[in-house]
Amino acid sequence: MRAVGLAALGAVLAAAAVGTYWLATDVERFMQTPMNVPAGGYPLLVKRGESLSAVADRLATDAVLTHPRYLAGFARWHERDRRIQAGEYLVPHRATPARLLEMMERGEIVRHRVRLIEGWSWRRALAEIQSHPLVRSTIEIPADFTRQLDLPTRNPEGWFLPATYEFRRGSTDVVLLEMAHRAMVEHLDTAWAERSPELPYRNPYEALILASIVEKEAAVADERPRIAGVFVRRLKRGMRLEADPTVIYGLGETFDGNLTRKDLRQDTPYNTYRRAGLPPTPIALPGAAALHAALHPAGGDALFFVASEHGRHVFSATLAEHRRAVDIWQRGRRSGKSP
């Protein structure tokens, strides 16, 4: 009887071993077999605190995964189930469960993008960020803006580097602006440390101000250093900058798109026709190229420039030359005569 009992036990253990081996083999095969993912990929949102079992069940409900318990059990057995990261994933076509688990462990989430353009105002940049459907808007009044971002100045203008920023679904407007602000601070610090000698700026912020003016004046990339050179020479000589974009900025919402002589006479802190030196703040978001131009202005003797054609300018060293250029390019254009 004892021999029969031992034989029966041996048979049970052998069957269990075979079953375990078969299950392990089946799970391994499952982990390496492509899932039923559509050609365009499968969007998967893993919520914060959600278990892998719950994620696997949703995949099974959507007919992407055939054996949800296999995935959850495999991850638990290998102590990988608690490593998955919350976020939005795009599971690629023919991805295996093993690849999916790897993606969730590494946090290979979908990164959305928003682009801030050179020359935009901070208000335009904020509007662009808040208009993105996957960004949570938390800034409602301007007073919150500088307080929430801990900016070095009360006016936020110019403090955000124009670039393309990646973010995850549900990020706030503050998070994105903090990214752009950190990028500007880092870029400005580096650029300031590498600046040309004998510039008329007392600190990096003044360089940022001039860079914003260069950004608004220059429509052609290769003219940025030349325009910066004109403004730098005027500052050194104590001449007023006489930059139209600063006047327009000072006019604010009252500007109707047509800059008049009356506008040029209106006294605001930003009217560089009436006030010497730099305006009190930047007038736009300057890009890296404009900042480089402000800190590495082109040499020469030009003190004036006037718009000509195709976004370019005519540069002059004397007032007489400048007046002739104005007659040719501005007064002639207003009269309908081509230069």
pLDDT per residue as tens digits for the range 32-80: 999 999 999 999 999 988 999 999 999 999 999 999 999 999 999 888 9
Whole-angstrom distance, CA of residue 85 vs CA of residue 109: 9
CB-CB contact of 199 with 207 (8 Å) = yes
| Angle, vertex CA 274, rays to CA 269 and CA 275, nearest 5 | 55
**Mean pLDDT, to the nearest integer, of 258-282?**
93
In the numeric block, the tokens 């469960």 are attached to 97
Confidence of residue 335 (pLDDT cuts 50, 70, 90): very low
Q: What is the pTM of this model?
A: 0.82
**Mean pLDDT, to the nearest integer, of 309-333?**
86
| Among the listed residues 112, 156, 166, the one whose alpha carbon sits nearest the alpha carbon of residue 148 | 156
**Mean pLDDT, to the nearest integer, of 133-145?**
80
CB-CB contact of 38 with 92 (8 Å) = no
Least confident of 92-101, 135-144, 227-236, 284-293: 135-144
Q: What is the radius of gyration, based on Cα positions, of the chain?
A: 32
pLDDT of residue 184: 97
Structure tokens at 81: 């189930």
Structure tokens at 97: 């469960």
Structure tokens at 112: 């959305």
In the three-class reduction of DSSP (H, G, I as helix; E, B as strand; rest coil), residue 165 is classed as strand
State the number of CA atoms in the 13 A half-sphere of 83 facing the CB: 15
CB-CB contact of 46 with 55 (8 Å) = yes
pLDDT of residue 128: 96
Share of the chain above pLDDT 90, in %: 68
Q: What is the dihedral of CA 148, 150, 153, 158, to 10 degrees?
A: -70
pLDDT of residue 300: 93
In the three-class reduction of DSSP (H, G, I as helix; E, B as strand; rest coil), residue 290 is classed as helix
In the numeric block, the tokens 């949570």 are attached to 136
CB-CB contact of 274 with 251 (8 Å) = no
Phi, psi (rounded to 5 degrees) for 173: -60, -35
Whole-angstrom distance, CA of residue 243 vs CA of residue 211: 13
Confidence of residue 14 (pLDDT cuts 50, 70, 90): very low
Confidence of residue 21 (pLDDT cuts 50, 70, 90): low
Whole-angstrom distance, CA of residue 57 vs CA of residue 68: 6
Q: What is the dihedral of CA 185, 187, 190, 192, to 10 degrees?
A: -80
